[in-house]
Amino acid sequence: MRHAPIDARLFVENRARLARLLRPKSLAVLNANDVLPTNADGTLTMQPNADLFYLSGIEQEESILLLAPDAFDPKQREILFVREPNEHLKVWEGYKHSKADAQKISGLTQVKWLAEFPTVFRQLMCELEHVYLNTNEHKRAVVEVETRDARFIRDTRAQYPLHTYHRLAPLLHQLRVVKSERELALLQEAVDITEKGFRRVLKTVRPGVNECEVEAELAREFIRRRGKFAYNPIIAGGANACVLHYNQNDQPCRAGELLLLDVAANYANYNADLTRTIPVSGKFTKRQRQVYDAVLRVMRASIAGATIGKLHRDWTKESQLMMNEELLGLGLLSKAEIRKQTEDVPACRKYFMHGLGHVLGLDVHDVGIMAERFAPGWVLTVEPGIYIPAEGFGVRLENNIVVTADGPRDLTATTPVEAEEIEALMAR
């Protein structure tokens, strides 16, 4: 746990919100993620299960959370199971949660060792009727490896075939898309760390610097502030910026080119998601500035348009209409091309081929029910772009906002984005 301690009231409140959505006489089960293998005897660093963390603050492997709000025994209504520490684990793997530590982190009073889980689980299954089990139901997920949740679902349904089973994911999506003030504070910390990294980069980018050196500067700033990369950083100079998920990050930054930086920090499992495009030589050319300002205008207008009650689909379409006009002004689209566009294939897609933004939180592409209308507490990225392979550059800008009753609030408002400010900072 690299981050500073989190107020356990966040997790207590999240559990209470979920309990109100469960049917009477229900049991919900959440598992930690697996530790995934690499090669030989290697393993990847475990990625905490976002749902388990959301409800408990626990990031340790093999942990299990049981929630049974209507259990007869009050001591069985919320139970966390963790690995029991021993001297072998202490020598080879280091710290593992004691019961007292797990209680302090999660706000749970009942913490048991993992060996006790089968007995307690059977007791609750014999008492209760409805069982909520969890899976990854993100629409864009590609699940090719069997997860701990999948194994648990298979084993549980085989052992207890007569219970009524329900999907836990839709309930968690409904809850997680609305961020509490405590969550917004953690997100803001991730955003602030990201800003520090970007300002550091503005001091170091110059012709001849390699993309990987820029990545290294960001890593130094994030890690020293108790953060880490929220996702694989995109450090794309020149035409590399026209590859939307460019991850090579090993080419020299050349004089006169633009450098696209899609890179952000993760703090306490909450993710920022920032994109900036800067001139390697410290000053935009006239054409680069025209394209840059066009993207910035669309971003500013799209931020203003992220209001309560709007559908994500309609918000995106508004941005596409604005982008059509900008591309027309840049000489990249003709009026005839715009007239020929269809609802599914807008004219701007030739140069702006991705979505306008997504919900953000414990996952970079966070969970949420996107058919619902924007509501207070939704956190969104706003990331228009224009990519011109024929001219050897692309521009993308991305801010993070929270929808509020008083209009959108820009979490990234202090991160430099105006061309003049970026040029001035690089000139120093």
Average pLDDT of every residue of the chain: 97
188 plus 210 within the same structural domain: yes
Please name the residues in contact with 142: beta carbons below 8 A apart, sequence gap of 6 or more.
Answer: none
Q: Which domain holds residue 84?
A: 9-176
134 plus 215 within the same structural domain: no
What local confidence, expressed as pLDDT, does residue 87 receive?
Answer: 86
What does the alpha-carbon distance between residue 111 and residue 98 come to, in Å, rounded to a whole number? 9
118 plus 204 within the same structural domain: no
Residue located via tokens 């596409």: 320
- Residue 2 lies inside a defined structural domain of this protein: no
pLDDT band at 94 (very low <50, low <70, confident <90, very high): confident
- Residue 4 lies inside a defined structural domain of this protein: no
Summarised one tens digit per residue, pLDDT across range 251-272 is: 999 999 999 999 999 999 999 9
pLDDT band at 129 (very low <50, low <70, confident <90, very high): very high
What does the alpha-carbon distance between residue 307 and residue 407 come to, in Å, rounded to a whole number? 6
SS3 per-residue string spanning the chain: CCCCCCCCHHHHHHHHHHHCCCCCCEEEEEECCCCCECCCCCECCCCCCHHHHHHHCCCCCCCEEEECCCCCCHHHCEEEEECCCCHHHHHHCCCCCCHHHHHHHHCCCCEEEHHHHHHHHHHHHHHCCEEEECCCCCCCCCCCCCCHHHHHHHHHHHHCCCCEEEECHHHHHHHHCCCCHHHHHHHHHHHHHHHHHHHHHHHHCCCCCEHHHHHHHHHHHHHHCCCEECCCCEEEEHHHHHCCCCCCCCCECCCCCEEEEECCEEECCEECCCEEEEECCCCCCHHHHHHHHHHHHHHHHHHHCCCCCCEHHHHHHHHHHHHHHHHHHCCCCCHHHHHHCCCCCCHHHHCCCCCCCCECCCCCCCCCCCCCECCCCCEEEECCEEEEHHHCEEEECEEEEECCCCCCEECCCCCCCCHHHHHHHHHC
191 plus 220 within the same structural domain: yes
Output the furthest CA–CA distance in the chain (Å, rounded): 74
241 plus 378 within the same structural domain: yes
What local confidence, expressed as pLDDT, does residue 25 receive?
Answer: 98
What does the alpha-carbon distance between residue 48 and residue 171 come to, in Å, rounded to a whole number? 19
* Boundary of a domain, candidates 176, 201, 227: 176
What does the alpha-carbon distance between residue 150 and residue 144 come to, in Å, rounded to a whole number? 11
Please name the residues in contact with 89: beta carbons below 8 A apart, sequence gap of 6 or more.
Answer: 83, 96
What local confidence, expressed as pLDDT, does residue 251 receive?
Answer: 98
Summarised one tens digit per residue, pLDDT across range 156-214 is: 999 999 999 999 999 999 999 999 999 999 999 999 999 999 999 999 999 999 999 99
31 plus 68 within the same structural domain: yes
121 plus 223 within the same structural domain: no
- Give the CATH number of the domain where residue 99 resides: 3.40.350.10
166 plus 194 within the same structural domain: no
Domain count, the chain: 2
pLDDT above 90: residue 98: yes
296 plus 323 within the same structural domain: yes
- 394, 250 in Cβ contact below 8 A? no
- Residue 197 lies inside a defined structural domain of this protein: yes
What local confidence, expressed as pLDDT, does residue 91 receive?
Answer: 83
- pLDDT > 70 fraction of the chain, expressed in percent and rounded: 100
* Boundary of a domain, candidates 116, 148, 176: 176
pLDDT above 90: residue 359: yes
What local confidence, expressed as pLDDT, does residue 90 receive?
Answer: 84
Summarised one tens digit per residue, pLDDT across range 297-333 is: 999 999 999 999 999 999 999 999 999 999 999 999 9
What local confidence, expressed as pLDDT, does residue 1 receive?
Answer: 72
14 plus 130 within the same structural domain: yes
- Residue 81 lies inside a defined structural domain of this protein: yes
- Residue 1 lies inside a defined structural domain of this protein: no
Tokens representing residue 233 in the block: 């950083």
Summarised one tens digit per residue, pLDDT across range 369-405 is: 889 999 999 999 999 999 999 999 999 999 999 999 9
Please name the residues in contact with 406: beta carbons below 8 A apart, sequence gap of 6 or more.
Answer: none
Residue located via tokens 């009026």: 335
Mean pLDDT value of segment 229-243: 98
What local confidence, expressed as pLDDT, does residue 339 receive?
Answer: 95
- Residue 27 lies inside a defined structural domain of this protein: yes
Q: For residues 387, 388, 393 and 394, what is the CA-based torsion angle, rounded to 10 degrees?
A: -10
Residue located via tokens 């969550």: 183
Q: What pTM does this model have?
A: 0.96
pLDDT band at 88 (very low <50, low <70, confident <90, very high): confident
What does the alpha-carbon distance between residue 367 and residue 359 come to, in Å, rounded to a whole number? 7
pLDDT band at 117 (very low <50, low <70, confident <90, very high): very high
- Residue 402 lies inside a defined structural domain of this protein: yes
pLDDT above 90: residue 35: yes
In DSSP terms, 251 is beta-bridged to: none
What does the alpha-carbon distance between residue 220 and residue 200 come to, in Å, rounded to a whole number? 10
What does the alpha-carbon distance between residue 394 and residue 257 come to, in Å, rounded to a whole number? 10
- Residue 3 lies inside a defined structural domain of this protein: no
- pLDDT > 90 fraction of the chain, expressed in percent and rounded: 95
Please name the residues in contact with 221: beta carbons below 8 A apart, sequence gap of 6 or more.
Answer: 193, 196, 197, 200
145 plus 288 within the same structural domain: no
pLDDT above 80: residue 112: yes
69 plus 83 within the same structural domain: yes
> Euclidean distance between the first and final Cα of the chain, in Å?
37
Amino acid at site 25:
K
Helix axes 169-176, 9-19, angle to 10 degrees: 130
What does the alpha-carbon distance between residue 111 and residue 96 come to, in Å, rounded to a whole number? 13
* Boundary of a domain, candidates 125, 148, 176: 176
Distances in Å between the Cα of 90 and the Cα atoms of 83, 84, 93, 138 are: 12, 11, 6, 36
